[in-house]
Structure 1
């Protein structure tokens, strides 16, 4: 399967997982939610890596680089994303997170010498523009769902969303060269996850009150977090690493940024109300852009 198609599948995984993530993230807090999600994801990924023998592709130098990528992209990036989601909801946090495609394109050009031309460049512009239009103007004017409310200062929520996007880009680009060496993608995901979890654990052990859960973990919370970990982190992130192995980092990032557009019809199922006209326009632009990229 083409790397761009794999990135699109990863975006679908992240869209589905956001519906599992929002309720427990708001109830437990971003740090506690992220920590539990990493626990489940690490168990799933290491089980697969041990069963397949993929762990044998790891060495100390590889582990160090994967660990740094995990701390930046998962520990900082994911925690910032869910802090943003708790403040702004999944729709608006989605448009901020989608800027990781722009960050990735610039950083891939500056650090890896990757340049997009022709249909890929046109398609990337349409896709990213479509995502922004769909999410920014996708809400109906009379929408009052709790996920559309702003909690705390808007500027802090925006800053957290942009930080999560930048960290996602940096964390991904760090390991782009590594994925071409034959390392097992599942073992790589497991290593990134485990070392990000170690950073979370150290923060929790420090006694900082912000790292503690706002409420006790309930059985239903645990189920939702497990589903989020399995779909987004075990499957989605592994698909991205496979896509990076064979594709351009900037193009993979652009394709994976379609997540917010895919979230809109899912939110429709929850709201029981049709998205606004901007959502449809943005979705059309994103589909056309995707078609140009895949031609």
Structure 2
């Protein structure tokens, strides 16, 4: 189980890095255009890797329906809503809202998959989530206004962030039965990305104004978009698919909710604004909680 727990934590780290990298291109290109570009590139990359490795041969037709639904909820809707929220709230506050996908994952896993948590795992889950809330709620000092955070559209940003969290939890729940059957994680992630990519191109072809690029695609923005996609969706979501092979939805959700804690030192390095002591206390609390989950 340790391998699958570490995979979930690795996904959290990938999402933290990709969130910081993707903040600028997402805001300038628009959430739909930004997501469409990154998914197009990843479809080619992961599809090629899966074909070369023969992973598609182990994918049964019975799994396609669940992976399709997982893709449309977790990636097409979830990713797009998350970056739309980030354009309004910035990576830090969006991280707080997106971390609630752990709560949704626990609730859905218990209600729909009859999952149970041991007392140690339940305590660990609570500490992880409490630490996340503390780390983000006290993540900046009074008077600071990081360049990625805006005071506009707060209510809509909150709604988008919570919607993204719910979609992520649903996408994880739908993928769990497929991954428990031993499907190759790279292939499963590649298929989910390809389906979501196709949906984005259909939306663009419909003439929807939100699907258009909001600014020209410069070489710098293109490079940031590629890097964001490879780290966040390419590596991060493949690790989640791996974690779901043996890990339950609730624990995978909680461990991957470490993302906003990991964003703190990244924002400090990028924006040169040191988080206060309470933010680090929250981070430490989440680390203790994750250790309890890993040691269950």
* Shorter-chain TM band: over 0.9
Are 1:134 and 1:279, in contact at CA under 8 Å, matched by a contact in 2?
A: yes
CA distance in 1, matches of 2:206, 2:223: 28
Contact 2:68–2:192 (8 Å) recurs in 1: yes
State the number of aligned residues: 294
Q: Match of 1:106? A: 107
CA contact (8 A) 2:11 2:237 kept: yes
SS in 1 for 2:245: helix
TM-score by length of 1: 0.97
Residue number in structure 1 paired with 2:23: 22
TM-score by structure 2 length?
Answer: 0.97
Gaps of 5+ in 1: none
Structure 2 residue aligned with 1:116? 117
- In the alignment, which residue of structure 1 is the partner of 2:171? 171
Contact kept in structure 2, 1:176 and 1:244, CA below 8 Å: yes
Quick check: 162-171 or 215-224, which moved more? Answer: 215-224
- Distance in structure 2 (CA, Å) of the matches to 1:160 and 1:114: 28
Deviates most, 88-97 or 50-59:
50-59
Q: Which residue of 1 aligns with 2:66?
A: 65
Tell me the CA shift for residue 59 of structure 1. Answer: 3.1
Q: Deviations over 1:67-92 (max 9, x none)?
A: 11101110000000000000000000
- Contact 1:100/1:169 (8 A) holds in 2: yes
Which residue is 2:293 aligned to? 293
Deviation at 1:113? 0.5
Structure 1 residue 251 displacement after superposition:
0.2
CA distance in structure 1 between the partners assigned to 2:122 and 2:65 by the alignment: 34
Structure 1 segments, 4+ long, off by >3 Å, are none
Q: Which residue of 1 aligns with 2:41?
A: 40
Q: Deviations over 1:119-165 (max 9, x none)?
A: 1110110011100110111111121222122232x111100000000
Q: Distance in 2 between matches of 1:262 and 1:288?
A: 14
Distance 2:181 2:93 in 1: 37
Distance 1:199 1:23 in 2: 24
Match of 1:87 in 2: 88
Q: Distance in 2 between matches of 1:145 and 1:125?
A: 29
In structure 2, how many angstroms separate the alpha carbons of the residues matched to 1:64 and 1:191?
11
**8 A contact 2:128–2:286 mirrored in 1:** yes
* Residues in 1 aligned to 2:127 and 2:194: alpha-carbon distance in whole angstroms: 36
CA contact (8 A) 2:135 2:279 kept: yes
Secondary structure of 1:2's counterpart equals: helix
Q: d(CA) in 2 for partners of 1:248 and 1:87?
A: 33
Partner of 2:195: 195
Residue correspondence of structure 1 range 1-295 to structure 2 within 5 A: 1-152=2-153, 154-295=154-295
CA contact (8 A) 1:86 1:151 kept: no
Question: What is the aligned-residue RMSD (CA, Å)?
Answer: 1.0
